[in-house]
C-alpha cells in the first residue's frame, strides 16, 4: 500500500468510542487489531525508508568522511510529515479496510 497517498489526519483527534465498538463489540479487541495493523504499517514504512537511505550510504565507516547529505535530510523530513502508522490504522479500521478474523473456539479444548 502506498502510504504517501493516504488522506487522513496527521495529528491525533478526539474520536467517538462507539465507532470503535461497533465492528467488534469489544473495545479491547479493537485496540489489539489497531496495534497489530499499526505495527505492520510501521515495518513497511521503515523498510521503505531504509532502502531509500541505503542509496546514500557510504561504503566506508570512517567518521571523518561522514557529512550532511541534503537528499537524506529531505527524505527524512518527508517521512516525518507522513501520517503516523497509528492514525493510518485507525482510518483503515473506521473505513472498514482492515480484514480481521476471530479465532474460533477449538473443539478439542471445549469440554
Is 37:98 a contact under the CB 8 Å cutoff? yes
Query: Could you state, in order of their start, the residue ranges of all structural domains in the chain?
Result: 16-57+66-94
d(CA 70, CA 61): 19
Is 3:83 a contact under the CB 8 Å cutoff? yes
CA distances 28 to 3, 11, 23, 34, 85, Å, are 26, 23, 12, 10, 19
pLDDT tens digits for range 67-107: 567 788 888 888 888 889 999 999 999 999 998 887 775 55
Q: Output the average pLDDT for the chain.
A: 82
pLDDT tens digits for range 60-75: 655 554 556 778 888 8
Nearest to 30 by CA among 109, 98, 84: 98
pLDDT reading at 42 higher than 90 = yes
For residue 92, what pLDDT is reported? Answer: 92
Most distant pair of Cα atoms in the chain: their distance: 68
Amino acid at each position: 500500500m502506498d502510504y504517501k497517498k493516504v488522506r487522513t489526519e496527521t495529528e491525533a483527534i478526539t474520536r467517538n468510542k462507539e465507532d470503535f465498538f461497533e465492528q467488534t463489540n469489544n473495545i479491547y479487541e479493537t485496540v489489539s487489531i489497531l496495534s497489530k495493523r499499526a505495527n505492520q504499517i510501521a515495518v513497511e514504512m521503515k523498510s521503505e525508508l531504509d532502502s531509500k537511505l541505503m542509496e546514500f550510504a557510504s561504503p566506508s565507516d570512517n567518521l571523518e568522511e561522514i557529512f550532511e547529505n541534503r537528499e537524506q535530510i529531505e527524505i527524512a523530513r518527508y517521512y516525518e510529515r507522513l501520517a503516523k502508522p497509528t492514525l493510518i490504522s485507525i482510518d483503515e479500521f473506521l473505513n472498514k479496510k482492515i480484514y480481521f478474523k476471530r479465532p474460533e473456539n477449538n473443539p478439542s479444548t471445549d469440554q
